[in-house]
A and B are shown apart, each in its own frame.
Chain A
Amino acid sequence: IQDDHKLSTSELEEKYGTSINKGLSSARAAEILARDGPNSLTPPKATPEIVKFLKQMVGGFSILLWIGAVFSWISFGIQLAQGAESPFDNLYLGVVLALVVILTGIFAYYQEAKSTNIMASFSKMIPQQALVIRDAEKKELPAEQLVVGDIVEIKGGDRIPADIRLIFTQGCKVDNSSLTGESEPQSRSCDFTHENPLETRNIAFYSTTCVEGTATGIVINTGDRTIIGRIASLASGVGNEKTPIAIEIEHFVYLVAGVAISIGVLFFIISVSMRYKILDSIIFLIGIIVANVPEGLLATVTVSLSLTAKRMAKKNCLVKNLEAVETLGSTSIICSDKTGTLTQNRMTVAHLWFDNQIYSADTSEDQTTQPFDQSSPSWTALSKILTLCNRAEFRPGQENLPIMKRVVVGDASETALLKFAEVILGDVMNIRARNKKVAEIPFNSTNKFQLSIHETEDPNDKRFLLVMKGAPERILERCSTIMINGKEEPLDSEKAEAFQTAYMELGGMGERVLGFCHLYLPENEFPDTYSFDTDSTNFPTSNLCFVGLLSMIDPPRSTVPDAVSKCRSAGIKVIMVTGDHPITAKAIAKSVGIVSATSETVEDIAKRLNIPDEQVNRQEATAAVVNGMELKDMSLQQLDEILCNHSEIVFARTSPQQKLVIVEGCQRQGAVVAVTGDGVNDSPALKKADIGIAMGIAGSDAAKNAADMVLLDDNFASIVTGVEEGRLIFDNLKKTIAYTLTKNIAELCPFLIYIIASIPMPIGTITILFIDLGTDIIPSVALAYEKAESDIMNRRPRNKRKDRLVNEQLAVYSYLQIGIMQSVGAFVTYFTVYAEQGFLPSTLLGVRVDWENNAINDFEDSYGQEWTKYQRMYLQWTGYTAFFVSITIQQVADLIIRKTRRNSIFQQGLFRNKVIWVGIFSQIGIALILTYGLGHVTALNFTPLRFQYWFVAVPFAILIWVYDEVRKLFIRRYPGSWWDKNMYY
C-alpha cells in the first residue's frame, strides 16, 4: 500500500522526479512509458483464435467421429494391402467423416465468432484526453500516454485519467460511484485526512469523474496498477463457470457417446465371437458409431440458440455468449441494481402537499399532463414559486422534443421541478421572462435555501414577489403564516403538526422533500426602484408565508412492477442490491413489488408490536432490508440464513465488492444467479454470476466485457423477456434432441440385425449421414420456433440438478419406443422391396457371406432366378434408399409429435408454427432430390425408388402419431401417475 497521500508536495516531487510547475520532460516521460506501459486497463486475455477453432474440432461428438474416420482409414490400409476389390469405399467414408467434423466445427466457430463480433463494437472507446504539464507547457495528450509523475489538471465533467495525488484543488468534487457505489459526490482537497489511501481526500481515482471544481495533481499509479485496475484484474481471476446449458449438453454428449461406445464394443465382441473377420468387425464398429452419433445435432443446437439470441436482441437483450441465452431461462435469483435498471434514473416530482393535503403526481416516463386537482389558488402560488425559484433551463432548440426528453442545464432536483412546471404550465421560460428576476441568493449548504425576488407579471401590481425553496424544516422556520386555499392563515402549532406529519410521510417514502414559501413585499417599503442587495439582505427573509411541500424521487420505470410480478410468478427471486439509502431503496422496492405490500421486515414487526427487534420471530418477517454496514460484519452463515429465510431482500448501501459476496451467497444456495451491473467495480460480480448482465447505456466497458449479456435499454423488464426466451429455448431444445435421437435407433438397428441375422445390409453409412446432415437439419431447427405449450412464466425455474435437458425418460422414450417403431416401419419397407424383387424374407436370413461374395454371380433368389453381384448391389442400394425414405417419412410424424410434450397437437395447433412445415417440405424435398436427382450417382448409393415404397411406412408414421397422442392424453389425464412419471420427458 502506498503512502503518497501522507507525503508533502516536495517529497512527492522528489519521489517521482518531477516538478509541479514544469512537469516531466518529454524524454523522461517516454522512458517511464516504456518501463510501465500505457495507462490503460489490460483487457482480459482472449483465447487465441486457433485454440478456439481447435476446441470446436475436438469438442462434443467430434472425438467419436475422428475415431470412426481413423478406423475407416485403417481398414482402408488393411484392405489395400490385402488387395481387396473396393478398398476406396472406406477411404472415402473416412474422408467424409473427417469433413463432417471439420465443417460442423467451422460452422460452430463461425457462429461463436459472429456473436463475439457484436460485442467487439462495444469496446471501441473514444480515446480520452488529459491536460498534462510537460516540458513546462500545458499539453493535451491521450490519457493512455500518462506516466507516473505527470502533472495533470482536471476540471468538472472530466473523467479522472489515472490515480492522482491532488496538490491543488478548488471546489473539487468527485463522483466515486464506479468505485464505491456511493452516488453522492465527495469533496476533494489537498489535505491528508485518513490513513487509508481509499478514504483520504487528497487522492482521486482512475475512472471516477470530477463533478465540479478544478484540481491539479501528480499521477501516482497508471493502468493496471490503479485501484480500479486491481479490481478489474480481480474479475479476470474469477473463474468463468460453465453455463448450465453447456453442462446439459456435455451430459447429453456423454450419454449418447456412452451408448454408442458400449453398443459398438458389445457388437464388436459379438461379431468377433461370431467368427466375423476383425476387419469386418471394425467396419461394423464404424457403422454403429456413425449411426449412434447425431452428427448434425450440435450444429442445430447452435443455430437454435443463435435464433433465440437474435430474437432477444430485438427485445434489447444482446447476448454475448450464445449459451447465456438459456442461462437466463434457468435463473432463479436476479440481483438487480436500482438506479437506471429498476428506476428511470432521473428525479421526478412524485408528491405535493398543499392545503393540508397530499397529492400524487404522475411519475411515468412520458407524462403530458398531471391529473391532480389544480383548482386551488394555493397551487397557483406554489406553481409560481417552483417556476421562478429555479435556475435550471432547457437547452435551446428542443421545442419539438417531448418535455421529458429535453436536455436541461441544472441539477437533478431543479430539472425535475422545471419539467414538472413545464408539463403543467407550459413555456416556463416565457413565464420567467414576464416575471423578471431582480435579485437572487443561490443555494448553499449553510443556509440550505434558495431565494429570488421578481417583478410580477400583473402591470397593476407593483409589488415584488419574494420566492424561496429549500430544506422543509429550514423553510418552515422562516414562516409565520401558511397558505390554505389561497388565504394566508397564521401558522399555529396544529398547522405545524400537519406539516410535520406530511413531511415525515413523504420522507418515509424515500423521497427528497423541498419546502416552498413566498412573500409579496409591500409596495410602500419596496417601490419598483428599490435596489436589492443580496450581501446585506436588505429585505425580509423571515415571517414568510409557507405554501407547500414537493417531494421527488427517481421513480421506478413503469414496466418494472409488472416485470417483477412476472418474475415472482416464474419463481424467480428478485433481490435489490444498491448503494442507495435503505429508506429510498425500500420505498422503490415496495413500489416495484420486490417487497410486496403485505410483507414486513423484522424492524416493521418490531415497530408494529412495539417490541425490540431481538424479540421478533424472524420466521414471520418475509422481507429484509440489509444495510451494507451490517453485511460487513456478517458471517457467511448469517448471510446464508438471510438469503434462505427471507423471500424479499433489499441490500442497501452496499459497496460493489459486497455484491460479489452476495452473489456467492446466492450460489451457495444452489441458485442460478443473474446479476446486473454497470460500473467497473461490478465486473467481478458480473463475472462470478451465472449470467452477468451489463447495462448498454450506463454501463462501463469493463462491465460489458465481464458480462454475458448487455441490456440495450438498461430496462429490468427486458430481463424478463429474456427469461421467457431462455425457458422456451430449453423446452424446444429438448424437443429438438428428442426428435434427433429417435432416428438413431432406426439407423442403428439395421447394423445390429445385419450382424446377427446376416441379412443384406439394410442401410449404408453414407445414407445415414444424409439423414443426419441432410433431411433432418431444417426440421430440427424448426422446433426452435415452436411456441410454449403453457405459460412458461408460471412455473418455477428448473432445478439444475434434477431437470436435465436429456433425462432418462426422454432417452428411453425416443430410443426404446418411437425409435423401435420407426425401425419396424423401415424394416417392413426393406423386406417389401426385396420380396417384390424376388427375395422373400426367409431367403434373406443368413445370406450375408454369399451375398457379398464378388465371385458369386449366379446367386439364386426365391423364384429360381439368378443374380450377378452388381445386380444384387444395386438391389441393396434400392434397399438403402427405401430404408432412408421410410425413416424420412416417419421422421415427419416424429417432427409433428415433438411439437408438444404434454399438450395434444390439436391444442398446440398444427399450423401455428409455419417453420415446421418448411421443415417437413424440406425434408421430403431433399429426399426426393437424393433419390430421383442423385439416384444415378453410384458413390452416393441412392437409386430411383418406385413411388409406392414411399408409402409403406405411412401406417407406421400414423401409428407413431396416434401412440404419442395417447401418451400425452394419459399424461394430462393422470398427472403424477406411473405413466406420467415414465412417459413425460
Chain B
Amino acid sequence: GLILLFYLVFYGFLAALFTFTMWVMLQTLSNDIPKYRDRISSPGLMISPKPDTALEFYFNKSDARSYAEYVSTLRKFLESYDDSKQSQNINCTRGRIFDQNDVAVKKACRFNLSELGQCSGKEDKTFGYSKGTPCVLVKMNRIIGLKPEGEPRIYCTSKEEGMVEINYFPPEGLIDLMYFPYYGKSLHAHYLQPLVAVQLAVNSNSTKEEIAIECKILGSPNLKNEDDRDKFLGRIAFKVQMTE
C-alpha cells in the first residue's frame, strides 16, 4: 500500500518536473522561427505527384484509371494555388528578393497557375497523362530565411538520350527570387512556394521503357545539389514508364 503511494508521489513529482522543464524550455522558443536552422541550410527537392512506389511512375496513357491517382493528387496539390485562394496575395517585383523583415504582417507573393502553362490543369484536366506528355511538379523545400543567390532554375536530364523531350513551365524552369525568403508558418500563413512544372514528352518508340529522370537546381551558388549522402538535396531522381 505504502509502496504504491510512494511511487505515485514519486512519479507524480517526476511528471510534474518533466512538464515544468519542458514548459520552461518551450518558453525560450519563438513561435515564429526555430532557434536553429543549421541542419537545413540548403533545401531538398520534391515532386508532386509522389507515387507510393518509391518515385516511380507507371501508367497507361489510354487507361484513365492507371493515372487517376496522379491526376487527383496534382489537382489537390494545386488547389491552394487557385486564384480564389490567392486573393490576399500581392504581385511582387520579379527577379528580386522580397525582403519584409521590417513589416509585421508578411505578405505572400502571388503564384499564377497560368505560369505552369500546359501543366496548370486548366486546359488539360489530365495534366498531359492522357496524351503521353505527363506533368510532374517540382518544388523546392521551404526553409525559413533562405535567400537563393543567382538565378535558380530547375534542370532535368534523362540518362537515356533521345527517349524523352523535356519542357519547363515557367520557361527554362526558372524559380523567381521574389518568393524568397520564407518567414515561417505563423508569420507567412498564405505563403505559396514557387513551382516548376516539368513536362515529359515520351518518344513514341520509347514507350514501355523505364526512363530515369534527374532534376537539379542550377544557377544558384548557395543551393547545394551534389551532396554525397543526401540524394534529395537540390536534386531528385525519379522514373517514368508509360505504356499505350
Query: Residues of A at under 8 Å CB distance from B?
Result: 816-817, 820-821, 824, 827-828, 831-832, 835-838, 840-841, 854-855, 857-858, 860-871, 874-875, 878, 938, 946, 955, 959, 978, 982
Contacts and interface: CB of A to CB of B under 8 A. Distances in A.
Contacts of A836: 29, 34-36
Given A836-B35, A863-B185, A955-B21, A871 B44 contact: yes
B18 A866 contact: no
Contacts of B233: 868, 870-871
B46 interface: yes
Given A835-B35, A870-B230, A870-B232, 12 more contacts: A828-B22, A836-B29, A836-B35, A855-B50, A857-B46, A857-B236, A861-B34, A863-B34, A863-B186, A868-B141, A869-B232, A871-B44
Contact of B2 (A861, A875, A978): A978
B67 interface: no
Given A863-B184, A865-B141, A835 B39 contact: no
A863 B182 CA distance: 11
Contacts of A874: 39
A816 B233 CA distance: 44
A946 B38 CA distance: 11
Interface string B123-163: 00000000000000001011110000000000000000000
A864 B144 contact: yes
A982 B188 CA distance: 57
Contact of A831 (B22, B186, B230): B22
Nearest to A828: B21
B14 interface: yes
A871 B26 contact: no
B14 A870 contact: no
Contact of A865 (B21, B144, B236): B144
Contact of B184 (A817, A864, A869, A959): A864
B34 A837 contact: yes
B43 interface: yes
Contact of B229 (A831, A857, A875, A938): A938
Interface stretch (B3-11, B105-113, B212-220): B3-11
B104 interface: no
A959 B3 CA distance: 21
B39 A857 contact: no
Nearest to B146: A865
A97 to B, nearest CB: 26
Nearest to B188: A864
B55 A855 contact: yes
Interface string B183-207: 0111010010000000000000000
A172 B172 CA distance: 120
A807 to B, nearest CB: 15
B22 A857 contact: no
Contacts of B25: 828, 831-832, 835
B141 A821 contact: no
Contacts of A827: 18
Given A835-B25, A837-B39, A866-B143, A824 B18 contact: yes
B68 interface: no
A857 B44 contact: yes
Nearest to A982: B3
A780 to B, nearest CB: 25
Contacts of B32: 863
Contact of B10 (A817, A870, A878): A817
A723 to B, nearest CB: 36
Most chain B beta-carbon neighbours within 10 Å: one of A828, A870, A871, A938: A871
B13 to A, nearest CB: 10
A866 B141 CA distance: 5
Contacts of A860: 142
B4 to A, nearest CB: 12
B103 interface: no
Interface string B166-192: 000000000000000010111010010
B64 interface: no
A838 B41 CA distance: 13
B40 interface: yes
B40 A867 contact: yes
Contacts of A863: 32-34, 144, 184-186
The list of the 5 closest CB pairs from A to B, nearest first, reads A864-B185, A868-B44, A866-B141, A838-B34, A870-B230
Nearest to B26: A835
Contacts of A878: 39
Interface string B228-239: 011111001000
Interface of B: 2-3, 6-7, 10-11, 14, 17-18, 21-22, 25-26, 29, 32-37, 39-40, 43-46, 50, 52, 54-55, 139, 141-144, 182, 184-186, 188, 191, 227, 229-233, 236
Nearest to B25: A832
B141 to A, nearest CB: 4
A855 B54 contact: yes
Nearest to A832: B25
A858 B18 contact: no
A959 to B, nearest CB: 8
A395 B10 CA distance: 78
Contacts of B191: 864
A845 to B, nearest CB: 13
Contacts of A875: 39
A967 B54 CA distance: 56
A841 B18 CA distance: 12
A841 B55 CA distance: 30
Contacts of A870: 227, 229-233
Most chain B beta-carbon neighbours within 10 Å: one of A832, A838, A861, A874: A838
Given A841-B22, A871-B39, A871-B44, A865 B229 contact: no
A867 B44 contact: yes
21 contacts: A828-B18, A828-B21, A828-B25, A835-B25, A840-B26, A857-B141, A858-B44, A858-B46, A863-B186, A864-B144, A864-B185, A865-B142, A865-B144, A865-B184, A869-B230, A870-B227, A870-B230, A870-B233, A871-B230, A875-B39, A946-B36
Contacts of A828: 18, 21-22, 25
Contacts of B45: 857
Nearest to B41: A871
A835 B25 CA distance: 9
Contacts of A832: 25
Nearest to B30: A863
B209 to A, nearest CB: 21
Nearest to B2: A978
A816 B10 CA distance: 10
A866 B47 CA distance: 13
Contacts of A821: 14
Nearest to A867: B40
Most chain A beta-carbon neighbours within 10 Å: one of B14, B17, B40, B52: B40
Nearest to A959: B17
B46 A837 contact: no
Most chain B beta-carbon neighbours within 10 Å: one of A857, A878, A959, A982: A857
Contacts of A861: 34
B37 to A, nearest CB: 7
Contacts of A959: 17
A167 to B, nearest CB: 81
Contacts of A817: 10
Contacts of B54: 854-855
Nearest to B17: A824
A831 B19 CA distance: 12
